[in-house]
Amino acid sequence: MAFPNVDFSASLVRDAVPGWVGLDIRVSFGPDGTGLTETVLHDEQGPSARSRRP
């Protein structure tokens, strides 16, 4: 049986500017099937936050 990991952390560089939002998402998996997801949140002024989820 498998369960999703609910741990989540986010680091905010600054408040996001209202309007369009972009996500740069990278996912990697190890040989045993465990994975890591990393996301950078962008707005019209550039990166504003980063999150990681094991």
In single-letter form, the type of residue at position 29 comes to F
pLDDT in tens, 24-44: 988 888 898 888 888 899 999
What HEC string does 1-54 produce?
CCCCCCCCEEEECCCCCCCCCEEEEEEEECCCCCEEEEEEEEECCEEEEEEEEC
Strands 22-29 and 35-43 come out as antiparallel
pLDDT at 45 over 90: yes
Chain mean pLDDT for the chain: 83
pLDDT at 4 over 90: no
Domain boundaries, the chain: 20-29+36-54
pLDDT score for 46: 93
